[in-house]
Amino acid sequence: MQCAISPLAEPRGLSIRPKLYAKGRTELSFDYLQVTREFYEDHAEEYARKTAGMFDQEWLDKFASLVRPNGRILDVGCASGRDSGWFVSNGFQVEGIDVSPALIERAKKAVPNATFSVMDLANLQYPPESFDGIWCSCVLLHIPRAEAPSVVASLARILRSSGILYILVKEGKSEGLEQDARYGNATKFSSYFKVDELHEMIEAADLKIRLISDMHEKVDDYRASERIFALAQKPDAQANG
Ligand SMILES: C[S@@+](CC[C@H](N)C(=O)[O-])C[C@H]1O[C@@H](n2cnc3c(N)ncnc32)[C@H](O)[C@@H]1O
């Protein structure tokens, strides 16, 4: 299948050591967060415009049906607030976080009834058991593979008992710098995961998988990658004694 994103073979001067489940931080010779922030800061308006109507409606509906009505939802990597807005209009209390200040400014304007903050997913500033639902759509793909399990575990920690976590990743086994043809070949950092890896990360975080999709192929020219979707639930603390 033709992919809109073409990985660079070996970016000169940049070394990447992909090792899933390595202990500690990944050894990248560059600041992946900075690469990500620059990509979205430079393309904030274009990104917001291009993705405005791209709801993964089937998964929004499934997620919303599992989260406690009127519950508190964290939209991780909320970008310009498209999904946050949908959650607000469906009666949820919504907080959104993103590393891009320009996208957070857009989200604040677009969804005044939600709360938005610039925050790194790998350094969450919330106490344990804060949210009834966490929506993490297309964000782990900007986290090094070796760090993804600890990020999923930290999302699980801030979920309340019986809370629901949604994760969407792109399918594959690689990570590295890519040029994105949809944005003038701008460079970004991307990671890909296999379905069994996503499965393992969720279970290692002591969450129960409610649903995990097979690969979904190209939706449209923009969403041309194969994607994997998962819904997981934190066990009910009382039921476990
Ligand atoms: C591919 S977009 C997905 C946006 C939206 N969730 C969606 O599904 O359309 C990835 C978003 O995650 C944000 N992001 C990337 N790395 C992040 C991190 N470490 N912490 C918080 N947000 C991050 C980016 O700034 C961007 O807005």
22-43 per-position pLDDT tens digit:
333 456 778 999 999 999 999 9
**Tokens (6 digits) for 206:** 């002591």
Please give the distance, rounded to the nearest whole angstrom, from the Cα atom of residue 136 to the centre of ligand 1.
8
**Where residue 55 falls among pLDDT bands split at 50, 70, 90?**
very high
Taking the model in full, what pTM does it have?
0.88
Q: What is the mean pLDDT of residues 7-25?
A: 35
How is the chain split into domains, by residue range? Answer: 29-240
CATH no. for 29-240: 3.40.50.150
Q: Are 195 and 214 in contact (CB under 8 A)?
A: yes
Q: Is the CB of 122 under 6 A from ligand 1?
A: yes
Closest CA to 74 of 189, 9, 204, 165: 165
Beta strand 159-170 with 131-137 is parallel
Cα 85 from Cα 92, distance rounded (Å): 10
Q: Is the CB of 138 under 6 A from ligand 1?
A: yes
172-195 per-position pLDDT tens digit:
999 999 999 999 999 999 999 999
Closest CA to 135 of 92, 106, 101, 104: 92
Cα 50 from Cα 172, distance rounded (Å): 24
